[in-house]
Amino acid sequence: MKKFQSIILRYAILLAVAFPNLYLFYFIFTPLTIYFSYFLLNIFFEATLSGNSILIPPCFEIKFIEACVAGSAYYLLLVLNLSTPKIKQRGKSIIYAFAAFFALNIIRIFVLSLMYVNSSDFFDATHKILWWLGSTIFVVGIWFANVKYFKIKSIPFFSDFKYLKKQIWKS
């Protein structure tokens, strides 16, 4: 029965965090993403911060929208963590996954910013590729690293489904 309660609690947390519109992730990671990006860019340029934009002289504006923060990627990492039973170090696993994605996202923003400021011919293509594929590849790579590092043996959703199916057929 304790395992069943664990399943209910984990999935209830996932539903609660998803409403309304992943607000929690954007509330936490929007300022962090903007300030860390600003700090890094300010090392190389005389950048100024104006709301959700970083201004770089003479005329470059790097505007942060929700897609830059990638709140849904953090949510997917949380889903993968909470839909997997028996992670002894779940808290550490979630922190590791979030920190790894955050670092990769800041690097992505920094590289794209350098390309933009230097008027790279490849900026638009690189930006679109990283927008459409980059976050997904980052999440998958981080999850596989998480599985290896934390020795996760179960499969998200499937292991819970298998347990529930077994319980139903027992009855």
- Rg for the chain, CA atoms, rounded: 19
- Summarize pLDDT for 110-167 with one digit per residue, the tens: 999 999 999 999 999 999 998 888 888 999 999 999 999 998 888 888 888 888 888 7
The whole-angstrom separation of Cα 167 and Cα 93 is: 28
- Least confident among 1-5, 7-11, 97-101, 127-131: 1-5
Q: What stretch of H or E contains 55?
A: strand 53-56
163 Cβ contact partners less than 8 Å away, ≥ 6 residues apart: 3, 7, 85
Query: What is the pLDDT at residue 171?
Result: 64
The whole-angstrom separation of Cα 76 and Cα 135 is: 10
Two structure tokens written together for 136:
């997904």
Q: Other CB atoms closer than 10 Å to residue 11's CB: what's the count?
A: 15
Domain ranges of the chain: 2-159
Query: What is the pLDDT at residue 15?
Result: 87
Query: What is the pLDDT at residue 153?
Result: 84
pTM: 0.89
Model confidence at 56, in pLDDT bands (50, 70, 90)?
very high
Nearest to 33 by CA among 59, 70, 72: 70
